[in-house]
Each structure stands twice: as C-alpha cells, then as structure tokens.
C-alpha cells in the first residue's frame, strides 16, 4: 500500500468519515482555505487510480467511497513508522510516545491493562 500525500490523506479522512461522498462533500470537509473544485477532483481521480477510492457514476456525477479502510491504512502507516524510526521495535516506539506525550497515571494504567489483556492466559 502506498503512502498518501498530505492533501490525499486529508481527502481520505473526509471520505472515511462520510463513508460515501461527492466532490462537493469532500471540499466541505477539508480545512480552510478550501481548495478549488478542479484540484480536489484531480486528487480524487489519483486516489481512484491508486486504489484507495472507488467511483460510482450517478447521472452526471460520481460518488466516491473508500476501498481501503482507515484501520488498514493506519496499521500500514504505524508499521512504517515503527520500522523507519524505531528499528522495528514496538517497545522503543511505545517508550518514545509514553515519554513524549507525558501520559497521565490513568493513561499509563490503561495502557498496561491493554497490554496485559493481549497476553495468552498461560503466560
């Protein structure tokens, strides 16, 4: 799966949230300053070509929906970050974010509980 450029990712975030969208819906969901209709249409066409979106023709227009889920993209993106910046070590990555984000005691406890819940019962 390819990495999305910043504007492509913004467009996908809107489509992921809406589940189905026309170009005008995508533009409404993008941050200010709003890009021109033709610019968004071009980016959406690229996302269709890359396999991130599918287009359904409805009359004279198209409705777009995601072919790649947010969860699938996030998983790939996190794996890339882990490999690229943390030597493919989940522990190093988690340690980095735990220190940098100044997690509260409650957040740390939640994280420990989550990690423990992922272990097999006979560990």
Instruction: Count up the domains in the chain and report the number.
Output: 2
Q: What is the pLDDT of residue 45?
A: 97
Residues 15 and 57 in one domain: yes
1, part of any domain? no
Q: How far is CA 61 from CA 64, 82, 103, 105, 114, in A?
A: 10, 40, 47, 51, 45
pLDDT tens, position by position, 1-29: 788 999 999 999 999 999 999 999 999 99
Contact 38, 26 (CB under 8 A): no
Q: Are residues 57 and 81 in the same domain?
A: no
Contact indicator for 12, 47 with CB cutoff of 8 Å: yes
Tens of pLDDT along 77-116?
A: 889 899 999 999 988 988 888 788 888 889 888 988 988 8
Residues 21 and 62 in one domain: yes
The residue segments making up the domain with residue 30 are: 6-66
The answer to whether residue 39 is domain-embedded is yes
pLDDT for the residue numbered 121:
62
Give the CATH number, domain containing residue 39. Answer: 1.10.10.10
Mark whether 36 and 79 lie in a shared domain: no
Q: Given a cut of 90, is residue 55 above it in pLDDT?
A: yes
CB atoms within 10 A of CB 9: 16
**Residue ending a domain, choose from 45, 66, 87:** 66
Do residues 105 and 87 both lie within one domain? Answer: yes
Global pTM value = 0.76
Which residues, other chains included, contact 12 with Cβ-Cβ below 8 Å and sequence gap of 6+?
4, 47, 52, 53, 66, 68, 70, 73
């Amino acid at each position: 799966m390819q990495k999305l450029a910043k504007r492509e990712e913004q467009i996908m975030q809107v489509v992921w949230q809406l589940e189905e969208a026309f170009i005008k819906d995508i533009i409404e969901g993008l941050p200010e300053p709003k890009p021109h209709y033709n610019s968004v249409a071009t980016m959406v066409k690229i996302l269709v070509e890359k396999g991130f979106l599918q287009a359904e023709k409805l009359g004279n227009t198209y409705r777009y929906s995601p072919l790649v889920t947010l969860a699938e993209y996030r998983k790939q993106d996190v794996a890339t970050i882990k490999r690229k910046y943390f030597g493919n070590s989940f522990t190093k990555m988690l340690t980095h974010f735990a220190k940098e984000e100044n997690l509260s005691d409650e957040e740390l406890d939640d994280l420990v509980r989550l990690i423990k819940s992922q272990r097999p019962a006979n560990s």
